[in-house]
């Protein structure tokens, strides 16, 4: 009894301290200017124990380029947690549409955009997750200069994203000096290392940089044109998706081409492969496609130019349709503080075909950046769902092999509740993780295993072995 009596004042004190901390945070928010970006509640949203913010950061005033963000904070009991920026690829696809709404975000969208339900394996359980629609013209991000939509490329995207970060940290000053990571998938295999390189180089010579950059992770991402093509075609042939003749044709026609700007000969070979593959979901070859009419087929949306399965970076049996319905709702846009100026006078879309079809600079390889950032001692993880045929595991393995890194932990299975979750190999400066049975969007297909992986990444620990069970903290 005496123990219980002694605890009551302590509990009351903790409650008062918690209240004071929340009040202090609210005061700081008001002072810093981000209070206006706080989301009270999204339409159809369940009750949650974490805060969310969304809004715009102008990255180029003369052109009127403004990037839209969504921040889903970790719960109070998990703070102070790291800050992680998530980027989807395309180029031209929305991180709100994919990362936030069908992968690692706090919510999933109900059919017909009727509302939201909680994602049990949301990554903001262990980190503050910042989703960014980039470049301008993607999702809710916009530009007042029409030509921007036809001149986007890797370089401007990286610099605009870096400007966004600098201004965002000024708006959210309590995140300055917090451990910061960058993550993404698909064509973000370019975005993530390019932005990481900018942050790293601009941090040089600063004793305590505002952006306390610790490392990055990339999933099923483009790394190197030659090795990615080589591994992709091999995966297609090994899984019976193309004939022997087409496999040889692809290798002859495409191996030295660009993914974004293929030659006419490569283009023709890719069209032949598309015909042979048939109506399957290359982003997840063993799962069904969305049962929609031929006039609005998943294939036509996923292949906006009739070819290049890697171009949109999206998985959809039907979830993409739900997001389209939800984010075009006026009440949803008001709750998100999106399109407040009316600059988006068009239907919100998960991906911009205009940006995708007119992409400019796209370096052939990220390997030099990997080498630079490995040498800098940053934490670098590459992960791959092994049923993806868009940027398959074989492509990623060839690209990593080209780095010539010594192995520190040999290829081995990792476990989640006594089941093999995938395999991993640790190199000097880089960790490779595969996720068994996952497609292009790993957190969508294997949400629990993806969260286990994410926790291990944040902790800088190898993937769990058989005896550690891979339990979620």
Confidence of residue 62 (pLDDT cuts 50, 70, 90): very high
Residue of 341, 422, 348, 305 whose CA lies nearest to 109: 348
Mean pLDDT of all residues in 391-407: 98
Q: How far is CA 237 from the centre of its chain?
A: 28
Last residue of a domain, one of 219, 253, 268: 219
**pLDDT of 16 over the 80 cut:** no
The tally of domains found in the chain comes to: 2
Is residue 334 one of the residues assigned to a domain?
Answer: no
Task: Give the pLDDT confidence score for residue 454 in this predicted structure.
Answer: 98
Q: Is the pLDDT of residue 349 over 50?
A: yes
pLDDT at 317: 73
Each residue of 379-392: pLDDT tens digit? 999 999 999 999 99
Among 115-119, 223-227, 308-312, 393-397, the minimum mean pLDDT is found in 308-312
Residue 465's pLDDT is what?
A: 86
Is the pLDDT at 2 greater than 50, yes or no? no
Is 383 in contact with 442 (CB distance < 8 Å)? Answer: yes
pTM of the predicted model, to two decimals? 0.89
| Active-site residue, from 134, 186, 298, 424 | 186
Given a cut of 80, whether residue 141 has pLDDT beyond it is yes
Helix, strand or coil, per DSSP, at residue 333 = helix
Residue 352 known to be catalytic: no
197 by Cβ neighbours in 10 Å (0-12 / 13-18 / 19+) ranks as buried
For the domain that residue 201 is a member of, what is the CATH number? 3.40.50.1820
Question: Residue 434's domain is classified under what CATH number?
Answer: 3.40.50.11320
Q: Would residue 387 count as lying in a domain? A: yes
Q: Could you tell me if residue 245 is inside a domain?
A: no
Q: Is 325 part of any domain? A: no
Phi, psi of 179 (to 5 degrees): -55, 130
pLDDT at 344: 87
For a pLDDT cut of 90, what percent of the chain falls above it?
Answer: 80
Considering the domain boundaries, does residue 279 fall inside one?
no
Local confidence band at 88 (pLDDT 50, 70, 90 cut-offs): very high
Kindly state the average pLDDT of the residues 185-192: 97
Question: What pLDDT is recorded for position 24?
Answer: 56
Given this model, what pLDDT does residue 34 score?
84
Instruction: Enumerate residues 6+ apart whose C-beta is below 8 A from 428.
Output: 374, 405, 406, 407, 408
Catalytic: which of 190, 227, 440, 445?
Answer: 440
Q: Would residue 65 count as lying in a domain?
A: yes
Binning pLDDT at 50, 70 and 90, where does residue 322 land? very high
CA angle 153–159–163, rounded 5-degree value: 140
Residues 412-459: tens digit of each pLDDT: 999 998 899 999 999 999 999 999 999 999 999 999 999 999 999 999
Domain boundary among 179, 194, 219: 219
Does 186 participate in catalysis according to the annotation?
yes
**Alpha-carbon torsion 312, 318, 322, 328, what sign?**
positive
Owner of token pair 């290049």? 308
Which listed residue (388, 399, 416, 445) is catalytic? 388
Domain boundary among 194, 219, 244: 219
CA atoms within 13 A on the CB side of 419: 9
- pLDDT recorded at residue 301: 36
Is residue 8 in some structural domain?
A: no
Buried residues in 419-449 as b, exposed as e (16+ CB within 10 A): eebbbbbbbebbbbbbbbbbbbbbbbbbbeb
**Residue 342: what pLDDT?**
86
The yes-or-no verdict on residue 472 having pLDDT over 80 is: no
- The answer to whether 141 is a known catalytic residue is no
Region for 273 from its dihedrals, namely left if φ exceeds 0, alpha if ψ lies in -120 to 50, beta otherwise:
alpha
What is the pLDDT at residue 13?
53
Q: Please, which pLDDT band fits residue 470 given cuts at 50, 70 and 90?
A: low
The answer to whether residue 38 is domain-embedded is yes
pLDDT mean across residues, the chain:
89
Structural domain harbouring 406: 380-459
């Amino acid at each position: 009894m005496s123990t219980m009596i002694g605890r009551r004042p302590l509990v009351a004190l903790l409650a008062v301290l918690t209240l004071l901390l929340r009040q202090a945070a609210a005061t700081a928010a008001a002072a810093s200017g981000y209070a206006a970006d706080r989301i009270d509640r999204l339409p159809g949203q369940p009750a949650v124990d974490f805060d969310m913010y969304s809004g715009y950061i102008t990255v180029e005033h003369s052109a009127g380029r403004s990037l839209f963000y969504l921040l889903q904070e970790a719960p109070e009991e998990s703070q102070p947690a790291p800050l992680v920026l998530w980027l989807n690829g395309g180029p031209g696809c929305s991180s709100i549409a994919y990362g936030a709404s069908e992968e690692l975000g706090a919510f999933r969208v109900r059919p017909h955009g009727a509302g939201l339900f909680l994602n049990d394996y949301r990554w903001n359980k262990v980190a503050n997750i910042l989703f960014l629609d980039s470049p301008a013209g993607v999702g809710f991000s916009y530009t007042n200069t029409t030509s921007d939509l036809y001149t986007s490329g890797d370089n401007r995207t990286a610099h605009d994203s870096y400007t966004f970060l600098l201004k965002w940290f000024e708006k959210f000053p309590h995140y300055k000096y917090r451990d910061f990571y960058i993550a993404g998938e698909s064509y973000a295999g370019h975005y993530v290392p390019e932005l990481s390189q900018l942050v790293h180089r601009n941090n040089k010579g600063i004793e305590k940089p505002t952006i306390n950059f610790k490392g990055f992770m990339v999933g099923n991402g483009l790394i190197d044109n030659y090795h990615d093509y080589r591994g992709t075609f091999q995966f297609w042939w090994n899984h019976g998706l193309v004939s022997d003749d087409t496999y040889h044709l692809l290798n002859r026609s495409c191996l030295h081409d660009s993914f974004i700007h293929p030659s006419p000969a490569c283009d023709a070979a890719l069209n032949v492969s598309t015909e042979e593959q048939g109506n399957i979901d290359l982003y997840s070859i063993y799962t069904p496609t969305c049962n929609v009419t031929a006039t609005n087929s998943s294939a036509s949306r996923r292949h906006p130019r009739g070819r290049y399965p890697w171009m949109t970076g999206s998985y959809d049996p039907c979830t993409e349709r739900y997001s389209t319905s939800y984010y075009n709702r006026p009440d949803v846009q008001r709750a998100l503080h999106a399109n407040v100026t009316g600059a988006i006078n068009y239907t919100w879309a998960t991906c911009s075909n205009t940006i995708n079809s007119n992409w400019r600079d796209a370096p052939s390889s990220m390997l030099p950046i990997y080498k630079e950032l490995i040498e800098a001692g940053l934490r670098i993880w590459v992960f791959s769902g092994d049923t993806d045929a868009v940027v398959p595991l074989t492509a990623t393995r060839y690209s990593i092999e080209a780095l010539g890194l010594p192995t520190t932990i040999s290829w081995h299975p990792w476990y989640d509740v006594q089941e093999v979750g995938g395999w991993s190999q640790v190199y000097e400066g880089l960790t490779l993780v595969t996720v068994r049975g996952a497609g292009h969007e790993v957190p969508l297909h294997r949400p629990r295993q993806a969260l286990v992986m994410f926790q291990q990444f944040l902790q800088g620990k190898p993937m769990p072995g058989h005896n550690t069970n891979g339990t979620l903290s």
